[in-house]
Each structure stands twice: as structure tokens, then as C-alpha cells.
Amino acid sequence: MSIVELVACYVVLAVLLLSLNLTSLWRWGVKAAAIILTTVFFGVSYQSVNDLMGWPTTQKLPARFNLVASLISEPDKKTHDPGGIYLWAEDLGPNNVPSGRPRSYQLSYSDALARAVSSAQEKRNRGTDVMGRLYDNDPPDREGHKGDIKMGEIRQNNQENAATDTVPFMDDGARLGFEELPPVLLPDKGPL
């Protein structure tokens, strides 16, 4: 949701609250429906604010993306923290042009994914642009490593909450691969 939708939610709330006062002659059924609608808009505005705060999303990664940065939080058995892998990524267009609007994504921790993300981040640190890709099957460089993949729902620790999406991305990155970002495809300029 964007800031425009958030403002629209508050405008609707203001109009409802101004029009439904104690001296209105509306039937109680109309007033009750307006109260329910107002309650729904409180939930929508909360979700909008949560998205604006910058929490990582658990939505599915784009099919192809430019890896901007990553953070690996390893599981801690002492505190029962399940860990997580955080990617800051820009969606890539058909001509390999990044969208320019990076988004933070949260994936559940697995050893294989942590190794792949760590390797990709090392390439980024050396100055190489890295493209992430979701494959239909296992990525070519990770065939046969299914043993360390742990599928499951992302659990939150007690201090931070990821944006609550309606359909969380349940894949832990078993189909995620990284490679060097291909060059931008420029359109033909034609004869001068």
C-alpha cells in the first residue's frame, strides 16, 4: 500500500466519524455498519503503516533481481532464535535494468542458502554486480545439496516483526541462485 491509500483511509475515517455523531437520525443498523467499516479501515491503515516502516517482507522474491545487500542471521539455540536471511533486492526489468526501488525480503535460514548468499555478497563486496534468480527447479550450481534445505514457515523473534503479508513466501530459497548481473540490453538506435 502506498501513502495515498493511507491518507484515503484516514479521510474515510474522518468523514464517518464526523457524520455519525450522537444526534444523527440514522438507524442503528447503519451506525453499526459504519462502525464495522471504520474498524476494517483501522486494520488497513495499520498494515499500510507497517509496510511504510521498512520491515522486511515475507512475500516471494522477484523472478530476477539485482542483489543490493544481504544479512545472514544465524540461528541461536541458546535464545531459540531461528535466524533468518535478509536480502535487499531490486526487481530487474526485461532489459536487465533495475527498478531503482529496492525492497527488503526475509527468508528462513538454511545452511545451503546461507552459503549461497554469503558467496553472492562476497562478489558484491569485490565490486561485481550480482543477479539473483528463482529457478523452476534447483539452480544448476546447487544440484544434489537438498540435504541441508529446511523447508518451513518463517518464525519471528520477540523483538522484531516482519511485515505480515497475506501469503508468506514459504520457500526458503532452495530454488534461489546467484550469478553475475548481465549487461543492460540497449535498444537499437537505427541508422543516423
pLDDT tens, N- to C-terminus, the chain (192 residues)? 566 777 787 778 777 776 766 567 888 788 778 778 877 877 777 777 766 667 788 888 889 999 999 999 999 999 989 999 999 999 998 888 888 789 899 999 999 999 999 999 999 999 999 999 988 776 565 544 443 434 444 444 444 444 444 444 445 567 889 999 888 887 778 776
Please check whether residue 190 lies inside any domain of the structure.
no
Please check whether residue 189 lies inside any domain of the structure.
no
Same domain? 108 vs 170: yes
Please check whether residue 186 lies inside any domain of the structure.
no
What pTM value is reported for the model?
0.61
Beta sheet of 64-73, edge-to-edge order? 103-107, 84-91, 64-73, 130-134, 176-180
Pairing of strands 64-73, 84-91: antiparallel
Same domain? 135 vs 88: yes
Q: Provide the residue range defining the domain that includes 92.
A: 64-180
Give one DSSP letter per residue of 106-166, joined into a string.
EE---HHHHHHHHHHHHHHHTT--EEEEE-SS--GGGTT-GGG----PPPP-SS---B--S
